[in-house]
Structure 1
């Protein structure tokens, strides 16, 4: 019988000033990867890895939140509960418009969640990770576990994080991208009905391989200003991220319904030559929404890092999501196609500081953007260096940095192109700061834990002494 434990609130001192306004946080529990992102019934659904019983990792289930504007989120009851036999690991949700799965009755439309069953010692499949289904016919309010689970089992202990989409129009099929995490490979399968799956191909290892691969996504994007479209494969890894700990990389290429082929493979193992979704310490497990109108591609990442995630000093919750980002591709003058990420911004008056700046990129000129408390304490500093053409976010002095030895950091991103100025958008939302440079071609996300809200920005441009 499926059993679960009702949530209890942590007893440590609450930190309400650190709760973001526009970045989703659970009310009183632990959260990690975003799961099952889907638009249905005029509502965006955000499912997420959740410990319903505490504020550290464990008892993994699917939490649930909804929004109509991608900024204001309402937490819903837990959607998929862990049991004594399995944890409910990451996955995706699709709208089964044509009822290929057969889960919907006449007049109904099924939402189908495809997730990883991580089997516990109480299960005959102990130690395995396999893919399972649950479905909802009431718009995501209640869920039924498929009696035939698991639907895809490779007898592996590291096979997880299925992202599913429809490929090929009316005569197409479902495609699943998942990972063999320790092998650093993405594996692809096809299915006519979400229940039976056939192996297609694999991709990897490639580029960043210092950690296990997780949370893949594969989708088609337009190339801005052209009639072209290209496929993008996203893979998170931990450790081995550019800034340390976890990170997310991407590959641009082609998908023919069977095999993904990248356009570019770096000729060096220098991680700065790879394509990264974000250059900060706190952006991981990024995946996109299914069924969004007008073919918009919207993504959300986990604004945290496994190096210190269980110990961040927030209560009664732990972890926030990033802002939703709309993405497309932009082609450089050298023909390299890069992902452009633009945030869905909160409205004025929500308590979020949004700075829009144009900063010189003159050799020998340095610009410092500082955001501090009203009494000039706990500064967070973003430095733009015209000589090195970099931005660096420094949180060493921004409030509580001593809770973990790996937290305090300076994270650097190299700007692209040769413009003589850089446009910056800096979004400060309590304990999460997101930086979008060059229209979103370069992004950088960090958590901060100041003793009071960061509300006082200052900008200083100078020539450093030699």
Structure 2
């Protein structure tokens, strides 16, 4: 839970998600697990609650749920804004920034140069280092270390690549307007050699940003590894606005080869549903993964907002939360590969944990049924059901009277939908009220959905996390009802469990 709890004047401050105390945040940066602590850095305006003055904010956690906010880590100045990037633990001091027995953390970030700079208008990659575990940072005097003379070269994600032929640093960054991920190689983080590029491919309806590259075992088999390349884009998402996509394939230390490309080149607008999306909701963007997580787990977090209305969401004095941290796995599905994502950390269901409300083997009949005893504003809802004659059936959360957020299944259309047209405060921007959909198919004749409800959001994980939808909502504090609903017929609720968090 965030350090600041909700008050009457701050109805929407999340309990399960990180939000800065009183400023703006957007893209997560520099995610790393180091010396037992998860470090979340992020794009931050330390002077206001709208975008601007881009610097790296900083928060830490030991359980991925309770976050402590720290002072700004890397601040903008008169010459540069500090755009997105990543952090590596340079355990062998390849950079030379370490001293004695202290190996440095090294941040690789985008310098967005301002008018007073001789590089005004250029985006290039720079370094900063920390010798105290990530709390204070010193900019490298030789910045930038990689400059293509481009106005849209940004968001470096750096990993350590290990092979029989040796090991070295690999950077994935973007030429945003060209829909291209470019890969570079370095032995010391200071001098970089171009390796290859990837793209355009699949979704190209907006600029490409915030790439990530990592290996995952298929179906948990460590002998069968595939590489995942994620890239975010704005706009051009499957339900409009900001979104993230991914490709699965191979990386040989030089070139990424995709096995899951649908459109080679600029996208086909009619094929958006065929692309592989990190999340189908409106509010999951710039997602990247943590480095050096124990046991080889792959954990990701995204910015829970959409550039269509990001600066106007009705929160104060803070603006924008992060998503839940998700554990990501890779699975073979009908001859291809699909990511699955589940909530990580203390929110994950625990053995022996008893829900506060349960229901089983109930017909979901036409209309709406309020579930007495299930109400709450911060909760996990686990729902399984089988279709019947209903055109649509599901849950209404954060409800009160006619208001509420609908999470429904449309079996004949093979869709799961989140309808936030009656989710409370929706008129602050013309594009906010929406019905957002994702393809879904029954598994063994049924549907399994887990919903994390918070004071300003719902995160939906369906069919074992193979489909996710993340949505901001802004209901009244009194809107806490949970209901079942169906239209055009009936369905059968197999089980429903509600766990309250606040």
Bucket of the pairwise TM-score, normalised by the shorter protein: over 0.9
Q: Does 1:217 align with 2:217?
A: no
For residues 453 and 132 of structure 1, what CA distance do their matches in structure 2 show?
A: 48
SS of the residue corresponding to residue 396 of structure 1 reads coil
Distance 1:15 1:308, change over 3 A: farther
Query: C-alpha displacement at 1:344, in angstroms?
Result: 1.7
Distance 1:21 1:346, change over 3 A: farther
Distance 1:256 1:338, change over 3 A: same
Please list, as runs of the form range in 1=range in 2, the aligned pairs for 1:72-111 lying within 5 A after superposition. Answer: 72-111=66-105
SS of the residue corresponding to residue 100 of structure 1 reads coil
Query: C-alpha displacement at 1:416, in angstroms?
Result: 4.2
Aligned match of 1:266: 262
Q: Does 1:367 align with 2:393?
A: yes
Please list, as runs of the form range in 1=range in 2, the aligned pairs for 1:298-377 lying within 5 A after superposition. Answer: 298-332=299-333, 334-344=334-344, 346=346, 352-362=378-388, 364-373=390-399, 375-376=400-401
Q: Does 1:45 align with 2:39?
A: yes
Aligned match of 1:167: 161
Please list, as runs of the form range in 1=range in 2, the aligned pairs for 1:274-285 lying within 5 A after superposition. Answer: 274-285=275-286
Aligned match of 1:179: 174
Q: Is the 8 A contact 2:28 2:40 kept in 1?
A: yes
Deviation per CA, 1:34-61: give whole Å up to 9, x if none: 0000000110000000000000000000
Query: C-alpha displacement at 1:14, in angstroms?
Result: 7.9
Q: Is the 8 A contact 1:364 1:387 kept in 2?
A: no
Structure 2, unpaired ranges of 5+: 1-6, 348-352, 357-375, 491-502
Q: Is the 8 A contact 1:430 1:453 kept in 2?
A: no
Query: C-alpha displacement at 1:377, in angstroms?
Result: 5.7
SS of the residue corresponding to residue 404 of structure 1 reads coil
Deviation per CA, 1:387-424: give whole Å up to 9, x if none: 12211101111111000111111100111465310110
Q: Is the 8 A contact 2:421 2:435 kept in 1?
A: yes
Query: C-alpha displacement at 1:371, in angstroms?
Result: 1.1
Q: Is the 8 A contact 1:15 1:314 kept in 2?
A: no
Structure 1, unpaired ranges of 5+: 1-12
264-273 or 433-442: which moved more?
Answer: 264-273
Q: Is the 8 A contact 1:115 1:162 kept in 2?
A: yes
Aligned mate of 1:422, from 435, 438, 447: 447
Deviation per CA, 1:76-101: give whole Å up to 9, x if none: 11000000000000000111111111
Aligned mate of 2:481, from 445, 452, 456: 456
Aligned match of 2:229: 233
For residues 382 and 432 of structure 2, what CA distance do their matches in structure 1 show?
A: 27
Deviation per CA, 1:251-288: give whole Å up to 9, x if none: 00000000000012216831000000001000000000
For residues 345 and 444 of structure 1, what CA distance do their matches in structure 2 show?
A: 19
SS of the residue corresponding to residue 59 of structure 1 reads coil
Deviation per CA, 1:340-365: give whole Å up to 9, x if none: 00112645999721000102144645
For residues 440 and 45 of structure 1, what CA distance do their matches in structure 2 show?
A: 25
How many residues end up aligned between the 2 structures?
A: 451
For residues 182 and 444 of structure 1, what CA distance do their matches in structure 2 show?
A: 27
Q: Is the 8 A contact 1:119 1:125 kept in 2?
A: yes
Q: Does 1:246 align with 2:242?
A: yes
Deviation per CA, 1:123-153: give whole Å up to 9, x if none: 0100000000000010111110001000000
Q: Does 1:192 align with 2:187?
A: yes
Query: C-alpha displacement at 1:228, in angstroms?
Result: 1.2
Aligned match of 1:119: 113
Query: C-alpha displacement at 1:180, in angstroms?
Result: 0.2
For residues 41 and 369 of structure 1, what CA distance do their matches in structure 2 show?
A: 42
TM-score w.r.t. length of structure 2: 0.87
Distance 1:329 1:177, change over 3 A: same
For residues 406 and 463 of structure 1, what CA distance do their matches in structure 2 show?
A: 28
SS of the residue corresponding to residue 18 of structure 1 reads coil
For residues 453 and 186 of structure 1, what CA distance do their matches in structure 2 show?
A: 46
Aligned match of 1:256: 252
Structural RMSD (CA): 1.9
54-63 or 340-349: which moved more?
Answer: 340-349
Aligned match of 1:6: none
Query: C-alpha displacement at 1:372, in angstroms?
Result: 2.7
For residues 15 and 275 of structure 1, what CA distance do their matches in structure 2 show?
A: 40
